[in-house]
């Protein structure tokens, strides 16, 4: 039963979707990191549901930092973050322990925990648990920003509708934080929103692809085999509910390239070595090369849909039908973007501390 991630900076999750509270313990963060609570509030706001394209369950997500911070500065001891659940309707989930939802973890949770799991709202498997992750990620991201490292995530593709790629990284990353819907092209937002609203009106859901950029990360960080930068980031990102794929740089596009197209030519820019393309996503041999780290994440369609679906009745041992009730997102990709940014920040912080030492982020 493992709910902790990281080597030197670790995050341990606790709580259930309809339990008393959710939260996490962030351990290993250096002392002396000044917290900007407006920045944390902004990141939590970007994860909240919005309008017709999200669930009608609205939580205040009022977080409390109950340890590890004194006078708004990290002390170096474990940081405990708690968020109380305030808006639950557990009755909507009364039958899901015996009639699991297709695409959800209802069935596999029962197998692992022998039927003792809290099934209400998905319990510990719910996307609700990402709320404290975003708070922890915001703390890590502030420490990284102070080192000149910036991270942002936008929706690159949804329903065949494509956003433009990152261009001026810092400007684009700042613009994402200023938007309620994480895209770079103003004209794309309305098209993507309408696609989600159409699926919602049909009782269905949609997924898509997110793209993340990390700029300012120094070269030479990472390991060549089992703790490569790709493997560490992938481990973290695959922990997020609904993530089903990840690739770095050109990713699966390499399959259609020749070596002459795939290689990133090395050039001098003043006293620095750079590459004229970034097909490898800022990583060679598992180690950063100083170029922006870029990767894409596939978010599957929300499994909670209002169409009738085939399932089984575990109490009777027979096939059954299910038409769910409750409040569910027709898409979570726009809310997942900031979660990916937060998990990336925690992972990059851990990688840097592992390489440079525990006080590197002071």
> What are the CA-CA distances from residue 209 to residues 46, 199, 234, 292, 337 (Å)?
17, 17, 15, 19, 10
- Any residues with CB less than 8 A from the CB of 349 and at least 6 apart, and which? 9, 29, 140, 143, 144, 361
**Maximum distance among all alpha carbons in the chain?**
72
Of 1-10, 57-66, 136-145, 308-317, the least confident? 57-66
Q: Is 5 helix (H, G, I), strand (E, B) or coil?
A: strand
Element (H, E) at 283: strand 283-284
State residue 100 phi and psi, 5-degree precision: -70, 145
- Say if residues 56 and 304 touch (Cβ distance below 8 Å): no
Domain boundaries, the chain: 4-356
pLDDT value for 60: 74
pLDDT digits (tens, 9 = 90+) for 149-176: 999 999 999 999 999 999 999 999 999 9
Average pLDDT value for residue range 175-183: 95
pLDDT-above-70 percentage for the chain:
96
Average pLDDT (246-273) is 97
251 closest CA partner among 212, 287, 206? 212
Average pLDDT, the chain: 93
Is the pLDDT at 51 greater than 90? The verdict is: no
Give residue-wise pLDDT tens across range 93-126. 667 778 999 998 999 999 999 988 888 878 898 8
Question: Averaged over 46-59, what is the pLDDT?
Answer: 76
What pLDDT shows up at residue 89? Answer: 66
Is the pLDDT at 49 greater than 70? The verdict is: yes
Tell me which of 52-66, 171-185, 225-239 is least confident. 52-66
Which is higher by pLDDT, 305 or 351? 351
Contacts of 88 (CB under 8 A, 6+ apart): 17, 18, 120, 121
pLDDT value at position 41?
96
Q: pTM of this prediction?
A: 0.95
Contact 196, 206 (CB under 8 A): yes
3-state secondary structure of 311: strand
- Distance of alpha carbon 244 from alpha carbon 235, whole angstroms: 12
CB-neighbour burial class of residue 49 (10 A; exposed 0-12, middle 13-18, buried 19+): middle
Q: What is the pLDDT of residue 193?
A: 95
- DSSP letter at 128? G
With a cut of 90, say whether residue 248 has pLDDT above it.
yes
pLDDT at res. 73: 98
Burial 24-46 (b: 16+ CB within 10 A, else e): bbbbbbbeebebeeeebeebbeb
CATH architecture of 4-356: 4-Layer Sandwich (3.60)
User: Does residue 7 surpass a pLDDT of 70?
Assistant: yes
Is residue 325 pLDDT above 80, yes or no? no
Helix, strand, coil tally for the chain in percent (to 5): 35, 25, 45
Q: Rounded CA gap, 9 and 33, in Å?
A: 14
pLDDT at 304: 86
Find, among 261, 343, 241, 355, the residue nearest to 295 by Cα: 343
What pLDDT digit, counting tens, does each position of 283-305 carry?
A: 999 999 999 999 999 999 998 88
């Amino acid at each position: 039963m493992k709910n902790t991630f990281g080597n030197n900076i670790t995050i341990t999750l606790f709580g259930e979707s309809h339990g008393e509270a959710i939260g996490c313990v962030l351990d290993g963060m250096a002392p002396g990191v000044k917290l900007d609570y407006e920045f944390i509030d902004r990141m939590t706001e970007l994860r909240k549901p919005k309008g017709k394209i999200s669930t009608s369950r609205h939580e205040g997500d009022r977080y409390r930092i109950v340890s590890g911070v004194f006078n708004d500065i990290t002390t170096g001891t474990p940081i405990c973050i708690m968020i109380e659940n305030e808006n639950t309707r557990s009755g909507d989930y009364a039958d899901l322990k015996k009639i699991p939802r297709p695409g959800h973890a209802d069935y596999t949770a029962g197998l692992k925990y022998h039927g003792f799991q809290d099934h209400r709202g998905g319990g510990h498997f719910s996307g609700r648990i990402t709320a404290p992750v975003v708070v922890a990620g915001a703390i890590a991201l502030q420490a990284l920003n102070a080192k000149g490292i910036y991270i942002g995530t936008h929706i690159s593709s949804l329903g065949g509708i494509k956003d433009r790629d990152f261009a001026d990284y810092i400007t684009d990353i700042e613009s994402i934080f200023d938007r309620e819907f994480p895209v770079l092209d103003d004209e794309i937002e309305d098209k993507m929103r309408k696609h989600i609203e159409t699926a919602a009106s049909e009782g269905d859901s949609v997924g898509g692809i997110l793209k993340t950029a990390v700029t300012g990360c120094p070269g030479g960080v990472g390991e060549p085999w089992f703790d490569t930068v790709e493997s560490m980031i992938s481990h973290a990102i695959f922990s997020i509910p609904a993530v089903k794929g990840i690739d770095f740089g050109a990713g699966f596009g390499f399959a259609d390239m020749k070596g002459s197209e795939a290689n990133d030519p090395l050039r001098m820019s003043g006293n620095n070595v750079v590459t004229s393309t970034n097909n490898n996503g800022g990583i060679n041999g598992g180690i950063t090369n100083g170029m922006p780290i870029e990767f894409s994440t596939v978010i599957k369609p929300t499994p909670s849909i209002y169409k009738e679906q085939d399932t089984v009745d575990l109490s009777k041992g027979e096939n059954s039908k299910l038409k769910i009730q409750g409040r569910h997102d027709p898409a979570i990709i726009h809310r997942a973007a900031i979660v990916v940014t937060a998990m990336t920040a925690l992972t990059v912080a851990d990688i840097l501390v592992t390489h440079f030492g525990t006080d590197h982020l002071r």
